[in-house]
Amino acid sequence: MLGFLSKTLSNEFNLFIDLGTAHTVIVVKDHGIVLNEPSIIAIQELGPQRHKVLAAGRQAVELVKKNPGNIYLRYPLRDGVVADTQNTAQMLRIFFQNLPSRIRPYIPKALVVVPFEASEVERKGTLHILKAAGINKARLIDEPLVGAIGADLPIHKPQGFMVVDFGGGTVEVAVIALNDIIYCESLKLGGHRMVDAIIDHYKNQHNLLIDRENAERIKIQYATSIPRKNVVAFSLEGVDSRSGVPKTITTNSEELSLILHPFFDQITQAIFRALSQTPPELVSDIMDGQLVLIGGGALTKEIAERITNDTQIKARIAADPLLCMAKGGHRLLLNPEILNELSWEE
């Protein structure tokens, strides 16, 4: 690990950061969630290999809406890890600058979650970005552990838990026991990939161009994990890909959900692979109903029913699945003894 990361007592940390593909969340020990913004920046091109970052988060989205063509959006994270180091650091600096002045003294020391399968190079890259953004001491913690803590699972016990974390960049299937990750697989088929698939489908099958905001909206509102259940028709507006004129089609939740069907099949197969790599005594715990769904994708209609039907394991959705990572981070800040018990490498 880098020099500025040291294995110190966890009570030095008062700030927690979830640097996600879809959203960046910042939690402060004494204040709770102080920032929850899209992980996105607005960029203006100044010339060959030159650009300027104008805004981040929701401000970036609004800026592009008011200045189409001149300014464009960029997602500096992809598949759960940093894809653009310079712009990720700049995005974090903007987020920090927008925090209330009373929060800024907490910035230099932070707990930060990373995907379990992030490589050593990716982890070191994340630490470099944090330092460039103004964080002098950081500790990286694997996402499945933090999410499980946020889901109120007693991971310190010798009992097996399976957590399926539906993130914007990845879906992580993890088995946890005794404050450690027994097995984990990261699937690059998170919410952003699902949105990409929706956009491609309506372009290829209906010659309809829709933007990411519209695709995300219908995914949340109409998509279901069981395509032929409670089918609902709806109108979808966009632009004709051939003529460039506005166009509206009528589609339904079944067509939309069938686009996502292969994604859920892959998640089911990942659950079976996890079980095959898990000690039998922990498998019996999981089979008894210790399979918990967290993250934004856990809000997909009928997702728990779909996984239960496919695996014959009773799946349940954690309370406030979108906030499990933030809740877990906040709990670690408030309870240093829990953080000091977690397995991690220096």
Instruction: Give the per-residue pLDDT at 294.
Output: 97
Listed in sequence order, the residues at least 6 apart from 103 whose beta carbon sits closer than 8 Å to its beta carbon are: 28, 31, 34
Q: Which of 170, 196, 197 is nearest to 184 (CA)?
A: 170
Question: What amino acid is encoded at 48 in this protein?
Answer: P
Asked if the model's pLDDT at residue 220 lies above 90, the reply is: yes
What proportions of the chain, in percent to the nearest 5, are helix, strand and coil? 40, 30, 30
Domains and CATH numbers, the chain: 1-36+75-150+323-346 (3.30.420.40), 40-73 (no CATH), 151-189+266-322 (3.30.420.40), 192-259 (3.90.640.10)
Bridge partners for 149 per DSSP: none
Contact between residue 9 and residue 340 where contact means Cβ atoms under 8 Å apart: yes
Percent residues over pLDDT 70 in the chain: 96
Instruction: Give the per-residue pLDDT at 6.
Output: 37
Question: What amino acid is encoded at 106 in this protein?
Answer: Y
User: DSSP alpha helices (H): ranges in the chain?
Assistant: 58-66, 85-97, 120-132, 143-150, 191-206, 212-222, 253-276, 280-287, 303-311, 324-334, 336-341
The pLDDT-based confidence of 65 (bands split at 50, 70, 90) is confident
Q: Name the CA radius of gyration of the chain, rounded.
A: 21
Bridge partners for 9 per DSSP: none
- Residue 267, both tokens: 């998640």
Q: What is the pLDDT of residues 156-165, one digit of tens each?
A: 999 999 999 9
Burial of 230 (0-12, 13-18, 19+ CB in 10 A): exposed
pTM, two decimal places: 0.89
The pLDDT-based confidence of 107 (bands split at 50, 70, 90) is confident
Contact between residue 192 and residue 208 where contact means Cβ atoms under 8 Å apart: no
Asked if the model's pLDDT at residue 4 lies above 50, the reply is: no
The arithmetic mean of pLDDT across residues 294-304, rounded, is 94
Dist CA 184 CA 40 (whole Å): 28
Asked if the model's pLDDT at residue 207 lies above 90, the reply is: yes
The arithmetic mean of pLDDT across residues 326-335, rounded, is 95
Listed in sequence order, the residues at least 6 apart from 339 whose beta carbon sits closer than 8 Å to its beta carbon are: 10, 13, 111, 141, 332
Q: What is the DSSP string of 195-223?
A: HHHHHHHHHHHH-EE--HHHHHHHHHHH-
Instruction: Give the per-residue pLDDT at 67.
Output: 80
The arithmetic mean of pLDDT across residues 170-199, rounded, is 94
The arithmetic mean of pLDDT across residues 121-150, rounded, is 93
The arithmetic mean of pLDDT across residues 254-274, rounded, is 96
Contact between residue 150 and residue 18 where contact means Cβ atoms under 8 Å apart: no
The arithmetic mean of pLDDT across residues 288-308, rounded, is 94
Residues in the chain: 346
Instruction: Give the per-residue pLDDT at 341.
Output: 85
Mean pLDDT of the chain: 90
